[in-house]
Chain A
């Protein structure tokens, strides 16, 4: 049996990258690193959307990747502005110290 490149391999890689992103969000304490892990998760989902697009022969998946990238750019701008505002007020980016919304 010869192995050929197919949808399942892309989905497996995407699952691994997504889990790495989840691990980073749950274990890291630096808010910017948490933010970068969210970007990694968005990217892994983009990869599986692109693979589905090739599998089904339909450009919709690629249009969705394009829109996800637009949302990620908006998220990056707003998220980093929030980080700057937080750092100006609390002098820290450690999420253990940012707990004023915690009950």
Chain B
């Protein structure tokens, strides 16, 4: 067992545990906090892949911006306690659980019965995670998607303000 493998199991199991906790938790605010823990674990897994840039923007964008916004809305609407479901819609619930288990079995089956990739990652993989390498790809090969993403963000900001503001008289 190498150190990397131990760290992978540690962060992977914490990520799965916090994810399960999030969907089982009745309190919306606590499930938001568990999701933040999950995002930190995923950032650690990016670091294990030697992708420093992604780890940093995972923390800054997801936990720093998106989850703060979610927590802000939960508190603004005062939704912290999730009302217990009035009548347990058992039909829909059991179909959903069956579908999820079927989906998981399908994915695991695909993983088990495909050829394993050659062991270990690409030897050059450590150099790819830097800002330099991603910036180079982003501004040369993927210039157009980058610009489209910036337009998308602008549209989203305008749309969010328009949707959330009170109707004008």
Contacts and interface: CB of A to CB of B under 8 A. Distances in A.
A5 B69 contact: no
Prevailing SS type, chain B contact patch: helix
Interface string B123-166: 11100110001101110011001100100110111011111101
B117 A55 contact: yes
Interface in A51-69: 51, 53-60, 62-63, 65-67, 69
Contacts of B134: 59, 62-63, 66
Contact of B99 (A9, A26, A28, A87): A26
A90 B38 CA distance: 32
Contacts of A67: 142, 145-146, 149
A23 interface: yes
A5 B122 contact: no
A70 B149 contact: yes
A7 B120 CA distance: 8
Interface residues of A, number: 71
A54 B49 contact: yes
A71 B145 CA distance: 11
Interface in B10-59: 12, 15-16, 19-20, 22-23, 28, 31-32, 35, 38-39, 42, 45-46, 48-51, 53-54, 57-58
Contact of B120 (A4, A20, A60): A4
Interface residues of B, number: 86
Prevailing SS type, chain A contact patch: helix
Nearest to B163: A81
A47 B117 contact: no
From A12, A50, A59, A72, residue with most partner B Cβ within 10 Å? A59
A16 B17 CA distance: 11
B121 to A, nearest CB: 4
Q: Which 10 A-B pairs have the closest CB atoms?
A: A57-B122, A74-B156, A26-B96, A24-B23, A81-B163, A15-B107, A81-B164, A81-B160, A77-B160, A54-B125
Interface of A: 3-13, 15-24, 26-30, 32-33, 35-37, 39-40, 43, 46-47, 50-51, 53-60, 62-63, 65-67, 69-78, 80-85, 87-88, 93-94
Given A37-B23, A43-B39, A50-B51, 4 more contacts: A27-B96, A55-B117, A62-B54, A67-B142
